[in-house]
Amino acid sequence: MTTQQDFPSQEKGSSSISSSYQPNLSGRYKLDKIFAAIALICAWAGLVVLAWLLVDVFTDGVSRLTWTFISEFPSRKPDEAGLLSALVGSIWLIGIVALVAFPVGVGAGIFLEEFIKNSVIGNIIEVNISNLAGVPSIIYGLLGLAAFVRWMEPLTGGRSIIAGGLTLGLLVLPIVIVATRESLRAVPDSTRLAGFAVGATRWQVVRDTVLPPAFPGILTGTILALSRAIGETAPLITIGALTFIAFLPRGPRDSFTALPIQIYNWVSRPQQEFHSLAAGGIIVLLVVLLTMNSIAVILRNKLQKSR
């Protein structure tokens, strides 16, 4: 009885609520459109700046791209200056970084993913690696300065290519390790179980059945790590790469310069002519980076297809 009496009054209440509620759909949809437009603009903003940067660098630097620029040493006269010593220094560095970071990174990745996965030590090392990835690169420079330049001076020869290469190698090591682990993780467990079932040891399983399908991913990750190393400037300045070198290094214990260092040197000079040299150097650096990244993509596609 009471419920029946309540009913009309409730209905009355709800009808008064619905009349006070105005959906205002057209206004809300208008706001929606504005919001979507802002999101669109923000998503493209970064690319617009990227395009601006590239156009700017190319207009400033394209006139410097002559054979002299590649084949000559840096000079006080902008018209005769080139980046030969920087280019050769960068190639040396990349060679050393590859020699250090590839075997150590892949080995560590295999060890963490295949041998001690989910163990306490494994987890500690994993946390340690993700922390290392967040350490600013200039701190690696300080480590390199104290460890490779000062402490190991008899071995490395002080402010040398090998000291720079080792520093950059440590810097990109987490990238190689993470890439290796992710590639190994993508290989299905059934592959491993099949290997164990025919009596293979863990290493035999990894070497013969897990590593081959994971290899393209590992290689791609390594090349991306190397391209990160090519662009690094701060750690090299910290360990004391020279900014003006008019000779080619003859061995890993010689002093050196590198592309980003040379670019930094040219940018930080007040004269306009050196700025266009810097732009030219940036074009060379970006072309090197682009080439490496393309190689990474092509290698991945090719190796994946051939399987």
Partner 1 sequence: MTANSPNSGEDRSSLWKPNRQASRRVEMLVKLIFGAFALVSVATTAGIVLTLIFETIEFFGEVSLLQFLFDPQWTPLFSNQQFGIHVLISATIMTTGIAILVALPLGLMAAIYLSEYASLNTRRFLKPALEILAGIPSVVFGYFALLTVTPVLQTFIPGLQGFNALSAGLVLGISILPLVASLSEDAIYAVPRSLRDGSYALGATKRETIISVILPAALSGIVASLILAISRAIGETMIVTLAAGQNPTPGFNPFVPVATMTAFIVQVSLGDTPATSLAYKTIFAVGMTLFLITLTLNLISFWFVRKFQEKYE
Characterize 104-132 residue by residue with b for buried, 16 or more Cβ atoms within 10 angstroms of its Cβ, and e for exposed.
ebbebbbbbbbeeeeeeeeeebbeebeee
Rounded to the nearest whole angstrom, what is the least distance from the CB of residue 40 to partner 1 in the complex?
A: 6
Binding to partner 1 by residue 291, rule CB under 8 A? Answer: no
Binding to partner 1 by residue 264, rule CB under 8 A? Answer: yes
Binding to partner 1 by residue 52, rule CB under 8 A? Answer: yes
Which of residues 98, 172, 177, 210 is near partner 1 by CB under 8 A? Answer: 177
Characterize 4-41 residue by residue with b for buried, 16 or more Cβ atoms within 10 angstroms of its Cβ, and e for exposed.
eeeeeeeeeeeeeeeeeeeeeeeeeeeeeeeeeeeeee
Q: Taking contact as CB under 8 A, which single stretch among the options 6-14, 27-35, 64-72, 246-254 is the one that binds partner 1? A: 27-35
Give, as ranges, the residues between 206 and 245 that touch partner 1 (CB under 8 A): 227-228, 230-234, 237-240, 243
Rounded to the nearest whole angstrom, what is the least distance from the CB of residue 281 to partner 1 in the complex?
A: 9
Rounded to the nearest whole angstrom, what is the least distance from the CB of residue 303 to partner 1 in the complex?
A: 20
Binding to partner 1 by residue 47, rule CB under 8 A? Answer: yes
For 98-159, the DSSP string reads: HHHHHHHHHHHHHIIIIISTTSHHHHHHHHHHHHHHTS-HHHHHHHHIIIIIIITHHHH-SS
CA distances in angstroms from 207 to 149, 178, 195, listed in the order given = 37, 19, 10
Binding to partner 1 by residue 166, rule CB under 8 A? Answer: no
CA distances in angstroms from 261 to 37, 121, 129, listed in the order given = 41, 39, 28
Which of residues 7, 13, 31, 301 is near partner 1 by CB under 8 A? Answer: 31
Rounded to the nearest whole angstrom, what is the least distance from the CB of residue 261 to partner 1 in the complex?
A: 8
Give, as ranges, the residues between 71 and 110 that touch partner 1 (CB under 8 A): 103-105, 107-108, 110
Give the SS3 label for residue 248: coil
Binding to partner 1 by residue 40, rule CB under 8 A? Answer: yes
Binding to partner 1 by residue 300, rule CB under 8 A? Answer: no
Which of residues 58, 73, 111, 215 is near partner 1 by CB under 8 A? Answer: 111
